[in-house]
Structure 1
Amino acid sequence: MANRGYDVVVDVDAEGDLGHTDLQEDLEFHSSNFEDPQSRTKIPADSSSASFLPGGSSRNTSGSSKRFLWSLSFYAQFFDVDTNEVARRCTAAIFPRANFLDVLEGNPDLYGPFWIATTVVVILFLTGTISQYLDHQGKEHFAYDFTLLSGAAGLIYGYTFVIPIGLWGTLKWFGSESANLLECMALYGYANLIWIPVALISWSPISILNYVFVAVGFAVSALFLFRNLYPVLSATDIRTSKILLVVVIALHAGLAIAIKILFFAHGGKQPGQSHDGDHADGDDKGDRMLRMLFRA
């Protein structure tokens, strides 16, 4: 019963009984196009799937790359770390046993640098305010200086994220292929970790201790940067690498000096020296600090 002119063959018994089959409802006739190669369509690949590739690699065309650049998944890869990994990197920054770039394992993050910088900003504002309060005790009504907060934010965020961009651009200018912008930001971000304990104790009324604390913070963080940036800077010629190392250390020294002057320069007098206009009993700043801390 098969005729070549039909696409569907229905087998009917001798009595013509189709049972409960209703041709009007159950059967649909379609023209065959299996032998027409022009009608075969391919399912396009999902162009957005490359947006989630680790490390930000993309196999898209230039148009897809632009969409990928402005998507949240592009920036999410820079924060692809958990708490344990950030804690491990912080430990490696304080107690370095290996090159920090090896600790990053090719996955530099901005999560740790951002929150470390934010913590330093907040603590600098609080301890700088305490230092000012101790310096103004016994003089006049103390007014909070919120420019300390904006100054701390500009100083720390600028140093953490602008200086690495300049360093990376300089290395690219001199043809260094080992320069990586995210790794530079991660190095500078985790180097700020030492400033958290330094800022917590540098509001002391004893000026010489403040200098010692800031100097220790500078030495630890500068050594961290020198140790990890030296292999990267050595990719350039000897003269250029030496100049860049000097510039890196000089800029870091400028950060330490700015922190000391802007936030902890108020306790500049030694204990036992009275301020102009103080009472005749000559209470020093250490006594005023104790009164502030244990005041009911």
Structure 2
Amino acid sequence: MSTDYQQAREALGTRLRELRLSAADGRLTGPQLARRLGWPHSKVYKLEGGRQTATGDDLRAWAEAVGEPEVTEELLARLRGFESHIRSWRRQLASGHAPVQDVWNVAVDQARVIHAWEEAVIPGMLQTADYARHIFLRYADLQGTKRDTDAAVRARVQRQEWLYRGGRMFHALVWEPALHALICPPSVLVGQLDRLAGVIGMDTVELGVIPLGASLRVPPANGFWVLDQQLVIAEDWHAELWLDDADTVASYVRVWETLRQSAVYGADAQNVIARARRSVSPRA
């Protein structure tokens, strides 16, 4: 969890405590407020201590219980402010994958230099349409969300126009297992690997591949993107994290630079990709 996210959650907790202690009909203890709300009193203290994230309904109920419904909008504004850093997939995908891709497109369009690390899939900026389609279908099945696959693919492919503009640079690192992962039919993976080999040598792309047998200085954990060394976007199973505090961004940059030391480039990267292509079984 990002430092600024946790600080904002603790600040909201402090505000909730202030409201409890200055309730309209007199100071309330935690157990007294909990009884009014029908909550276990531990929830009151977790929210006030920044150890639990309040929902919008929690904040509305709190404002009513302390006799100050007029502060509801203030509390909700605080929640929206720090929730923007942790964007749950359930909430984001309620309207499908295409709107999420549109948000990404805006962020990427404003960037000049992007550093990406992917350990399990080909980076979205380098995906073929067929490969991207299977990625979206897999996640739609997993999350049980709307299938707007064609629109999502179009949005992702549109983002790749960024690679053909001058003054941009995409530094991508990929772990070799991502080149073998059959998240799609073998024929689609072959086309994707051909596409990946084809970007080596582009003026706007620096592609590094970390071979499976390479010595690693840090574990190859979950993928992330760094935009202009000002914003990190990282994915987890429950949410997408948008992190912009300087210390957090600096940590991710250090991880990327450390991973880079294990990567191969140019002809050596071509050889790793070719090895993966030869290993694809047409019967898989």
Band of TM-score, shorter chain = under 0.3
Which structure has the larger Rg over C-alpha atoms? 1
- TM, length-normalised to structure 2: 0.24
- TM, length-normalised to structure 1: 0.24
* Higher helix content, 1 or 2: 1
